[in-house]
């Protein structure tokens, strides 16, 4: 009988295949936390410690990340795999849950879970998304959409009509205005809701003037934007203007939530290309500099910079110098190493230490002073 029970338990554990998650401790020692009015979460997709090191050495031994007073590490694994993908990784930040790889804003039962961006909208804050991938790609999608599978790009695009993201810039025009699975024209629908919608085909993002009164959506590519090294050049402007847009957008002045992604650091890792990783990371670094300058001046803005996971099993091998990084890779996929987290501004002290990736969601809510789960 004992053997039978043991067998049964073994089967149950194996079939469940989820990793144990320790309970999340939100505020330690009951110390009051200075509240943030605005939160800017910056995600360098695939940006592990080696990617950061390579970027720093290549940049004259300096990065804006050195200006962050609080540094922590998060455990990036998902509900069904020690090696997460970007969908489960971003859903951990946006919803505070471990879910399966491929899941966009849904739990392990494929049920939708409210995101921090949706909660911010409900509370009257302004919200924004900026990415150097398409806007329906896993990382930005996980803040606004709910889909059982990350590749359902047209479904994900339609979710942008359900939650009012006030400002967004990224690729993916085709999933809105040239859809294959239905006849909907999401440009038309967004304009009917008061959005100014424009794209790379109509004008260069460099020349765009944003009116802070209405909502703003700009598409930088039909599907995926080019690498920085091939001429893509909008992240820094989209980040710095986006922050100012959201700051002035809301008449009630309730604050804002924004997610800015350096999407292609990950693609450099998948391609096992050191130069690709470094050029993407240095553009992201420049965007961090702009955001940090805003936060410094504002005084009420929490900036959190992290990654969803590491990509490539990237190493800086012997023979490297600061100017010439000799990169090596163990994989063309993601790895499960812990990921650094950098925080600046009110509530930044919450981000010291080692914790689950899901804790970032809870720490951001604590920094806003939000209590209870809605």
- Which parts of this chain interact with Mg ion (CB under 5 A)? 45, 86, 139, 263
The minimum distance between CB 279 and Zn ion, in angstroms, equals: 17
Q: Which stretch binds Zn ion (CB under 5 A): 133-141, 183-191, 213-221, 260-268?
A: 260-268
Q: Say how many residues touch Zn ion, by CB under 5 A.
A: 1
By the rule CB under 5 A, 308 interacts with Zn ion: no
- Whole-Å CA distances, 344 to 111, 122, 261: 33, 25, 17
Q: Answer with the entry of Mg ion, Zn ion, none that 210 interacts with (C-beta below 5 to 8 A by kind).
A: none
**Cα separation of 140 and 200, whole Å?**
19
Which residue among 78, 86, 279, 366 is the active-site one? 86
Length of the chain measured in residues: 374
Residue 235 Cα to chain centre, angstroms: 14
Nearer to Zn ion (CB atom), residue 191 or residue 223: 223
Please provide residue 190's backbone torsions phi and psi, each rounded to the nearest 5 degrees.
-70, -40
Nearer to Mg ion (CB atom), residue 135 or residue 291: 135
Residue number with the shortest CB distance to Zn ion?
Answer: 266
Q: Which of residues 263-292 bind Zn ion (CB under 5 A)?
A: 266
The minimum distance between CB 139 and Mg ion, in angstroms, equals: 3
What's the number of CA atoms in the CB half-sphere (13 Å) around residue 182?
Answer: 11
Largest CA distance in the chain: 75
**Cα separation of 275 and 265, whole Å?**
10
Nearer to Zn ion (CB atom), residue 177 or residue 263: 263
Nearer to Zn ion (CB atom), residue 227 or residue 346: 227
Nearer to Mg ion (CB atom), residue 50 or residue 311: 311
For residue 6, the SS3 value is helix
Active site annotation includes 78: no
**Cα separation of 80 and 18, whole Å?**
5
Q: Answer with the entry of Zn ion, Mg ion, none that 177 interacts with (C-beta below 5 to 8 A by kind).
A: none
**Cα separation of 16 and 31, whole Å?**
37
The minimum distance between CB 253 and Zn ion, in angstroms, equals: 38
The minimum distance between CB 131 and Mg ion, in angstroms, equals: 7
Instruction: Count Cβ atoms below 10 Å from residue 22 Cβ, excluding itself.
Output: 9
354 pairs with which residues across the strands? Answer: 73
The minimum distance between CB 39 and Zn ion, in angstroms, equals: 24
Q: What is the DSSP letter of 324?
A: S
Q: Answer with the entry of Mg ion, Zn ion, none that 139 interacts with (C-beta below 5 to 8 A by kind).
A: Mg ion
Closest CA to 302 of 222, 227, 368, 358: 368
Extract the runs of DSSP E, i.e. beta strands, from 87-173.
126-134, 167-171
Q: Answer with the entry of Mg ion, Zn ion, none that 76 interacts with (C-beta below 5 to 8 A by kind).
A: none
29 Cβ partners below 8 Å, 6+ apart?
A: none
Residue number with the shortest CB distance to Mg ion?
Answer: 139
Nearer to Zn ion (CB atom), residue 100 or residue 368: 100
Closest CA to 263 of 83, 140, 97, 111: 140
**Would you give the binding string for Zn ion spanning residues 313-342, x where CB under 5 A is met?**
------------------------------
Q: Answer with the entry of Mg ion, Zn ion, none that 263 interacts with (C-beta below 5 to 8 A by kind).
A: Mg ion
Q: Which two tokens stand for residue 219?
A: 């598409």
Binding site for Zn ion (CB under 5 A): 266
Which positions are catalytic?
A: 86
């Amino acid at each position: 009988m004992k053997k039978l029970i043991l067998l049964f338990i073994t089967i149950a554990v194996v079939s469940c295949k989820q990793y144990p998650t320790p309970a999340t401790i939100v505020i330690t020692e009951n110390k009051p936390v200075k509240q943030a009015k605005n939160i800017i979460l910056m995600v360098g997709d695939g940006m592990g410690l080696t990617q950061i090191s390579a970027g720093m050495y290549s940049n004259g031994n300096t990065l804006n990340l050195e200006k962050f007073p609080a540094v922590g590490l998060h455990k990036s694994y998902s509900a069904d795999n020690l090696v997460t993908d970007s969908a489960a990784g971003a859903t951990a930040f946006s919803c505070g849950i471990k879910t399966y790889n491929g899941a966009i804003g849904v739990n392990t039962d494929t049920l939708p879970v409210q995101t921090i961006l949706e909660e911010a909208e409900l509370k009257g804050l302004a919200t924004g998304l900026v990415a150097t991938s398409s806007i329906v790609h896993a990382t930005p999608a996980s803040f606004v959409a709910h889909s059982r599978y990350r590749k359902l790009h047209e479904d994900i695009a339609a979710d942008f009509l359900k939650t009012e993201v006030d400002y967004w810039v990224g690729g993916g025009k085709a999933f809105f205005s040239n859809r294959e699975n239905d006849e909907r024209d999401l440009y038309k629908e967004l304009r009917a809701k008061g959005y100014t919608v424009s794209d790379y085909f109509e004008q260069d993002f460099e020349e765009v003037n944003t009116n802070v009164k209405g909502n703003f959506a700009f598409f930088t590519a039909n599907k995926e934007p080019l690498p920085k090294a091939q001429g893509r050049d909008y992240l820094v402007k989209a980040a710095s203007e986006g922050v100012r847009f959201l700051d002035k957008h809301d008449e009630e002045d309730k604050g804002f939530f924004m997610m800015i992604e350096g999407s292609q650091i990950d693609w450099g890792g998948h391609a096992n290309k050191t130069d690709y990783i470094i050029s993407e990371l240095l553009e992201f670094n420049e965007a961090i500099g702009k955001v940090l300058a805003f936060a410094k001046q504002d005084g009420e803005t929490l900036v959190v910079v992290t990654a969803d996971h590491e990509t490539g099993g990237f190493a800086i091998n012997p023979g490297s110098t600061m100017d010439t990084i000799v990169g090596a890779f163990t994989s063309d996929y993601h790895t499960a190493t812990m990921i650094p987290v950098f925080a600046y501004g009110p509530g930044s002290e919450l981000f010291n230490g080692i914790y689950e990736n899901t804790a970032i969601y809870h720490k951001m809510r604590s920094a806003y002073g939000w209590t209870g789960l809605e």
